[in-house]
Amino acid sequence: MYTDTEITTKGRISMLIVKELTKRYENVLAVDNISFEVKSGEIGVLLGPNGAGKSTTIKSIAGLLKFNGTILINGEPNKSLNSKKVFGYVPETAAVYDYLTVWEHMEFIARAYRLDEAWKESAENLLTRFDMGDKKQMLCKELSKGMQQKVSICCALLINPKMVLFDEPMMGLDPKAIKELKDIFLELREKGCAVLISTHILDSIEGVWDRVLVMNKGKIVLSRTRKELENSSESLEKIFFAVTEGVI
Amino acid sequence: MSPLFYIIRKQLKNIIRGLGRKPLALIGYILIGILMVGFILFALVMPSGSLRHGSNELFKAIFTALIIVCLYFSLRQGIEKGSSYFRFSDVNLVFTAPVRQNKVLLYGFIKHMGTSFLIVLFMIFQIPNIKNNFMLTGYGVWIILLTALLYSLLNPIIGMVMYIYTSKSKAVRIMAKRIIDALMALAVLGLFINIITAGDFLNSAVRYLNSAIFSWLPLIGQLVTIASAAVYGITPVFFLSIAILFFIIAAFLFILYKNNLDYYEDVLAATEYTELKIKAKRKGRDVSAMGKKNVRNIRSKFSVNGAAAIFQKQMLEYRKASYFLFFDKSSIIIILAGIIFRLFMPELSEFKIFAVLFFSAYMLFFFVIQGKWPQEIEKPYIFLIPEPDGKKLLYTTLTENIKNFLDGILLFAISYIFFEKNIVVIFLCIISYTLYGSVYIYGDIVSRRLFGAVHSKAMQIFIKLFVSFFVLIPGVIIGLLAFSLLESKEAAFMIITLWNLTAAALLFLASKGVFKHIEQE
- Mean pLDDT per block of 10 residues along chain A (248 residues) reads 48 88 88 94 93 93 92 93 94 90 95 94 94 92 91 95 94 89 93 93 84 92 88 83 72
CA A242 to chain B, closest CA, distance in angstroms equals: 33
Interfacial residues of B (vs A; Cβ cutoff 8 Å):
21-22, 295, 299, 301-302, 304-307, 309-310, 312-313, 316-317, 320-321, 379-381, 383-388, 515-520
Domain boundaries, chain A: 4-95+162-245
- Res B1 pLDDT > 70: no
Q: How far is CA B350 from CA A120, B231, B342, B430, B442, in A?
A: 60, 29, 11, 19, 32
Nearest to A95 among B309, B321, B381 (CB): B381
Chain B contact set for A82 (CB, 8 A): 386
At B7, the amino acid letter reads I
> Does the beta-carbon distance from A59 to B379 stay under 8 Å?
no
Q: What's the pLDDT score for residue B437?
A: 93
Chain B contact set for A26 (CB, 8 A): 22
8 A C-beta contact, residue B304 and residue A111:
yes
Q: Which of A67-71, B71-75, B455-459, B491-495 has the lowest mean pLDDT?
A: B455-459
Separation of alpha carbons A221 and B429, rounded Å: 62
> Does the beta-carbon distance from B310 to A139 stay under 8 Å?
no
Beta carbon pairs, A and B, within 8 Å: 79
Nearest to A63 among B295, B313, B383 (CB): B383
pLDDT digits 0-9 by tens, B246-296: 898 888 888 777 765 566 776 777 777 777 777 766 665 655 555 545 677
Q: Which of A3-7, B98-102, B375-379 has the lowest mean pLDDT?
A: A3-7
Chain B contact set for A27 (CB, 8 A): 21
Q: What's the pLDDT score for residue B283?
A: 62
Residue of B226 and A26 predicted with greater confidence = B226
Which ipTM did the prediction report? 0.89
Separation of alpha carbons B83 and B65, rounded Å: 23
Three-state DSSP class for B38? helix
> Does the beta-carbon distance from B305 to A111 stay under 8 Å?
yes
- Find the radius of gyration of the CA atoms of chain A: 18
Q: What's the pLDDT score for residue B419?
A: 74
Pick the residue of A111, A117, A158 with the most B CBs within 10 A to test the interface with B by mutation.
A111
Residue of B159 and B81 predicted with greater confidence = B159
CA A88 to chain B, closest CA, distance in angstroms equals: 8
Chain B contact set for A84 (CB, 8 A): 384-386
Q: Which of these, B233, B212, B208, B232, lies nearest to B221 by C-alpha position?
A: B212
> Does the beta-carbon distance from A27 to B21 stay under 8 Å?
yes
Separation of alpha carbons A122 and B346, rounded Å: 64
Nearest to B305 among A59, A91, A114 (CB): A114
Give CB contacts under 8 A, 24+ apart, made by B295-304: B295/A99, B295/A139, B295/A141, B295/B320, B295/B321, B296/B320, B296/B321, B296/B322, B299/A101, B299/A104, B299/A137, B301/A107, B302/A104, B302/A107, B302/A108, B302/A110, B302/A111, B304/A111
Pick the residue of B381, B392, B448 with the most A CBs within 10 A to test the interface with A by mutation.
B381
Spatial CB neighbours of A180, under 8 Å, sequence gap ≥ 6: A129, A130
Q: Which of these, B54, B60, B63, B49, lies nearest to B344 by C-alpha position?
A: B54
Q: How far is CA B357 from CA B43, B364, B404, B444, in A?
A: 27, 10, 13, 21
Q: What's the pLDDT score for residue B285?
A: 60
CA A84 to chain B, closest CA, distance in angstroms equals: 5
Nearest to B306 among A62, A114, A141 (CB): A114
Taking residues B138-146, report their average pLDDT.
86
Q: What's the pLDDT score for residue B73?
A: 83
Nearest to A112 among B299, B306, B519 (CB): B306
Pick the residue of B283, B287, B384, B450 with the most A CBs within 10 A to test the interface with A by mutation.
B384
Range among B52-61, B105-114, B389-398 rated most confident:
B389-398
> Does the beta-carbon distance from B320 to A64 stay under 8 Å?
no
Give CB contacts under 8 A, 24+ apart, made by B68-71: B68/B184, B68/B187, B68/B214, B68/B220, B70/B151, B70/B155, B71/B158, B71/B219, B71/B220
At B41, the amino acid letter reads L
**Per-residue confidence at B373, pLDDT binned at 50, 70, 90?**
confident
Chain B contact set for A79 (CB, 8 A): 515-516
At B380, the amino acid letter reads P
A32 phi and psi, to 5 degrees?
A: -120, 90
Three-state DSSP class for A248? coil
> Does the beta-carbon distance from B380 to A64 stay under 8 Å?
yes
Residues B433, B439, B442, B448: is their CA dihedral positive or negative?
negative
Q: What's the pLDDT score for residue B101?
A: 73
Residues B351, B353, B359, B365: is their CA dihedral positive or negative?
negative
Separation of alpha carbons B60 and B82, rounded Å: 30
Interfacial residues of A (vs B; Cβ cutoff 8 Å):
26-27, 59, 62-66, 79, 81-82, 84-85, 89, 91, 95, 97, 99-101, 104, 107-114, 137, 139, 141, 155
pLDDT digits 0-9 by tens, B27-56: 777 877 787 777 777 777 776 666 567 788
DSSP string of A169-229? TTTT--HHHHHHHHHHHHHHHHTT-EEEEEES-GGGGTTT-SEEEEEETTEEEEEEEHHHH
> Does the beta-carbon distance from A99 to B317 stay under 8 Å?
yes
Looking at the domain that runs over A4-95+162-245, which CATH code has it been given? 3.40.50.300
Please tell me which residue of chain A has the smallest CA distance to B295.
A99
Please tell me which residue of chain B has the smallest CA distance to A139.
B295
Taking residues B72-101, report their average pLDDT.
78
8 A C-beta contact, residue B503 and residue B471:
yes
Residue of A109 and B20 predicted with greater confidence = A109
- Res B343 pLDDT > 70: no
Nearest to A104 among B307, B316, B381 (CB): B316
Adjacent-strand bridge partners of A164? A88, A195
- Find the radius of gyration of the CA atoms of chain B: 25
Please tell me which residue of chain A has the smallest CA distance to B516.
A79
Q: What's the pLDDT score for residue B215?
A: 85
> Does the beta-carbon distance from B313 to A26 stay under 8 Å?
no
Range among B193-197, B398-402, B485-489 rated most confident:
B398-402
Please tell me which residue of chain B has the smallest CA distance to A137.
B299
Chain A contact set for B383 (CB, 8 A): 62-64
